[in-house]
């Protein structure tokens, strides 16, 4: 029996108006008791909205949410208030502690809402939790006198005071240093493994995904796919919301990068793509500079660095936190990175209107643009027949009709044998660039 069931839930603000916002779209998932679930995705993708819908803090515009087989949409305000006190414990990124109350009283507060009047009972439960998390000596202080890690432990104690079976954690370590974050993550892990609490955590950090039994990946308000952590396999879960085209995309990438499993591709995502692109650009450099470059490419891919900032960090001296490339090399690597990212974005961009102007299908225009980039970069002196043949093969590659090896053989083969007749060096560069474009395109942030 599922403890949480979300069926086609959507949250739409300003519906029907020009500034309509689709915060959540047709989300469907089921969570069983004692599972550790992570909802993962970039900022603004709908993670917190989904969590609020499960908590009953927000009613979906469409769809249903059930917890312990009770439909939250059928509850009135009083019933929802009781539900919050007895079924759901919330842990927030910003702690949400009341600064005018002591640490102990912050933890006790949910007991008072539940109507437990015996002060000794309330204090005893609170002190037991505070002692468990190592903050009992600070019980009489106000929260602002404590560190961020201590305040988050207060928040967890408050979430547990009514012995709720489900703990919802919204970016619980987003404001913490690495040591405090590790401490909070271990607490949540123990709550799941030792006390059999159901944990549902929101995060945008891929480093924490191994804690979960299952990870739901979100983008643009939708649950795109689900991955089971085989190391913590609790049960076999049928994967949902994975389209055939998505499976084809995985097949292409897995064949192009042997030894990488589907789960690893999901779990590594931006860091893995940054690693591949770094090695692609920086093979001649020493390992320290490659690692430094990898970090900056990761930030560029995720949108944390804009174009000119990325360029500056490549040129900045290694001692001052940059990669320490000379100006010419930094400009070259920056330009190559932007070309790859721009080519990857071409596959996602809406070209319908532009294609119609040229009497082309949208996909046909994208193929022409990708082919133009590849040929201008690596095969300028080819004739129109060769260009048309490469364009045909690129289209087949993008549609998953051929794999990397067949693509390479085809552009290498003589023209009379159905190939493009390119030299070996151009073949290798075009094939490599196209594979990197396909990889970077997977889950690429839509930022300039």
The mean pLDDT of the chain is: 84
Residues 45 and 127 in one domain: yes
Q: Looking at the structure, do residues 228 and 306 belong to the same domain, yes or no? A: no
Which of 196, 213, 244 corresponds to the end of one domain?
Answer: 244
Q: Which of 210, 244, 278 is the last residue before a domain boundary?
A: 244
Q: What is the 3-state secondary structure (H, E, C) of 381-430?
A: CCCHHHHHHHHHHHHHHHCCCCCHHHHHHHHHCCHHHCCCCCCHHHHHHH
For residue 139, the enclosing domain spans 4-244
**215, 38 Cβ separation under 8 angstroms:** yes
Task: Please write the tens of the pLDDT for every residue from 150-191.
Answer: 999 999 999 999 989 999 999 988 888 888 888 889 999 999
Say which residue the tokens 């590594």 belong to: 268
Q: Which of 187, 198, 131, 139 is nearest to 163 (CA)?
A: 198
* pLDDT tops 70 at residue 247: no
Place of tokens 């450099």: 285
pLDDT for the residue 176:
81
Shared-domain flag, residues 339 and 304: yes
Do 134 and 10 reside in the same domain of the chain? yes
Q: Residue 162 and residue 113: Cα distance in Å, rounded? A: 10
Cα separations in angstroms, 377 against 208, 330, 340: 39, 18, 11
Contacts of 68 (CB under 8 A, 6+ apart): 3, 87
H, E, C per residue of the chain: CCCEEEEEEEEEECCCCCCCEEEEEEEEEEECCCCEEEEECCCCCCHHHHHHHHHCCCCCCEEEEEECCEEHHHCCHHHHHHHHHHCEEEEECCCCCCCCCCHHHHHHHHHHHCCCCCHHHHHHHHHHHHHHCCCHHHCCCCHHHCCHHHHHHHHHHHHHCCCCCEEEEECCCCCCCHHHHHHHHHHHHHHHHCCCCEEEEEECCHHHHHHCCEEEEEECCEEEEEEECHHHCCCCCCCCCCCHHHHHHHHHHHHHCCCCCHHHHHHHHHHHHHHHHHHHHHCCCCHHHHHHHHHHHHHHHCCCCCHHHHHHHHHCCHHHCCCCCCHHHHHHHHHHHHHHHHHHHHCCCCCHHHHHHCCCCHHHHHHHHHHHHHHHHHCCCCCHHHHHHHHHHHHHHHCCCCCHHHHHHHHHCCHHHCCCCCCHHHHHHHHHHHHHHHHHHCCCCCCC
Residue 260 reports pLDDT greater than 80:
no
Is residue 267 domain-shared with residue 383, that is, in the same domain? Answer: yes
| Max avg pLDDT among 249-253, 388-392, 437-441 | 388-392
Q: Which residues contact 112 (CB under 8 A, 6 or more apart)?
A: 122
Rounded Cα–Cα distance for residues 340 and 321 (Å): 25
CA 149, distance to chain mean position in Å, is 24
Is the pLDDT assigned to residue 365 strictly greater than 50?
yes
Lowest mean per-residue pLDDT among 84-88, 244-248, 284-288, 379-383: 244-248
Q: Is the pLDDT of residue 200 over 90?
A: yes
Same domain, 310 and 446: yes
In terms of domains, do 266 and 406 share one?
yes
State residue 174's pLDDT score. Answer: 82
Q: pLDDT band at 242, cuts 50/70/90?
A: very low
Confidence of residue 276 (pLDDT cuts 50, 70, 90): low
Q: What's the CATH number where 179 sits?
A: 3.40.50.300
What was the pLDDT predicted at 199? 96
Query: Same domain, yes or no, for 423 and 438?
Result: yes
Residue 193: predicted pLDDT: 92
Residue 448: pLDDT band by 50, 70, 90 thresholds?
A: very low
Choose one of 244, 273, 308: the last residue of a domain.
Answer: 244
Residue pLDDT, tens place only, 18-53: 888 889 999 999 999 999 999 998 888 899 999 999
Q: How confident is the model at residue 271 (pLDDT cuts 50, 70, 90)?
A: low
Question: Looking at the structure, do residues 240 and 260 belong to the same domain, yes or no?
Answer: no
Distances, alpha carbon 273 to alpha carbons 17, 266, 280, 331, 343, in Å: 38, 11, 10, 21, 15
What CA–CA distance (Å, rounded) separates 436 from 448? 18
Is 188 in contact with 199 (CB distance < 8 Å)? yes
What is the pairing mode between strands 166-170 and 198-203?
parallel
- As a whole number, mean pLDDT of residues 257-286 equals 60
**Residue 35 in tokens:** 């599972």
Mean pLDDT of 138-158: 91
Q: Are residues 346 and 424 in the same domain?
A: yes
φ, ψ of residue 220 in degrees (nearest 5): 50, 40
> What mean pLDDT do residues 330-359 have?
88
For residue range 85-123, what is the model confidence (pLDDT) as tens digits?
889 999 988 888 998 899 999 999 888 877 776 888 889
User: How many CB atoms within 10 Å of residue 259?
Assistant: 6
Q: In what order do the strands lie in the sheet with 222-228?
A: 88-92, 166-170, 198-203, 36-40, 214-219, 222-228
Q: How confident is the model at residue 257 (pLDDT cuts 50, 70, 90)?
A: low
pTM: 0.54
Mean local confidence (pLDDT), 249-266:
56
- My answer on whether 224 and 275 are in the same domain is no
Same domain, 238 and 252: no
Q: Which residues pair with 214 in a beta bridge?
A: 37, 228
Number of domains in the chain: 2
Structure confidence at residue 287 (pLDDT): 63
């Amino acid at each position: 029996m599922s403890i949480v069931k979300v069926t086609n839930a959507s949250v739409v603000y300003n519906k029907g108006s020009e500034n309509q916002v689709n915060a959540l779209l047709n989300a469907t998932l089921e969570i069983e008791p004692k599972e550790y679930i992570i909802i993962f995705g970039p900022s603004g993708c709908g993670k917190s909205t989904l969590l609020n819908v499960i908590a009953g803090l927000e009613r979906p515009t469409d769809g249903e949410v059930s917890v312990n087989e009770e439909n939250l949409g059928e509850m009135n305000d009083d019933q929802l208030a009781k539900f919050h006190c007895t079924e759901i414990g919330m842990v927030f990124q910003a702690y949400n502690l009341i600064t005018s109350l002591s640490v102990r009283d912050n933890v006790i507060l949910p007991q008072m809402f539940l109507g437990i009047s015996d002060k000794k009972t309330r204090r005893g439960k609170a002190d037991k939790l505070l002692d468990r998390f190592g903050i009992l000596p600070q019980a009489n202080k106000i929260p602002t006198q404590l560190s961020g890690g201590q305040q988050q432990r207060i928040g967890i104690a408050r979430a547990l005071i009514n012995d709720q079976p489900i703990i919802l954690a919204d970016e619980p370590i987003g404001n913490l240093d690495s040591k405090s974050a590790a401490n909070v993550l271990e607490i949540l892990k123990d709550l799941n493994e030792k006390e059999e609490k159901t944990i549902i955590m929101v995060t945008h950090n891929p480093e924490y995904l191994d804690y979960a039994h299952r990870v739901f990946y979100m983008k643009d308000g939708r649950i795109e796919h689900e991955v089971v952590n085989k190391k913590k396999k609790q049960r076999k879960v049928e994967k949902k919301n994975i389209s055939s085209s998505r499976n084809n995309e995985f097949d292409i990438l897995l064949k192009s990068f042997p030894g990488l499993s589907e789960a690893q591709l999901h779990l590594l995502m931006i860091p893995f793509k940054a690693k591949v692109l770094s090695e692609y650009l920086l093979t001649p450099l020493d390992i320290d500079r490659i690692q430094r470059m990898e970090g900056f490419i990761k930030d560029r891919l995720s949108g944390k660095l804009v174009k000119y900032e990325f360029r500056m960090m490549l040129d900045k001296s290694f001692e001052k936190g940059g990669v320490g490339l000379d100006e010419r090399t930094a400009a070259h690597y920056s330009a190559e990175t932007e070309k790859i990212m721009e080519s990857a974005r071409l596959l996602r961009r809406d070209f319908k209107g532009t294609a119609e102007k040229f009497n082309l299908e949208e996909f046909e225009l994208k193929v022409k643009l990708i082919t133009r980039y590849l040929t201008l970069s690596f095969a300028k002196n080819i004739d129109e027949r060769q260009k048309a043949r490469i364009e045909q093969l690129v289209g087949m590659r993008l549609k998953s009709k051929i794999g990397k090896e067949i693509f390479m053989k085809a552009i290498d083969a003589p023209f009379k044998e159905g190939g493009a007749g390119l030299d070996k060096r151009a073949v290798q560069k075009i094939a490599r660039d196209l594979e990197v474009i396909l990889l970077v395109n997977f889950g690429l942030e839509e930022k300039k």
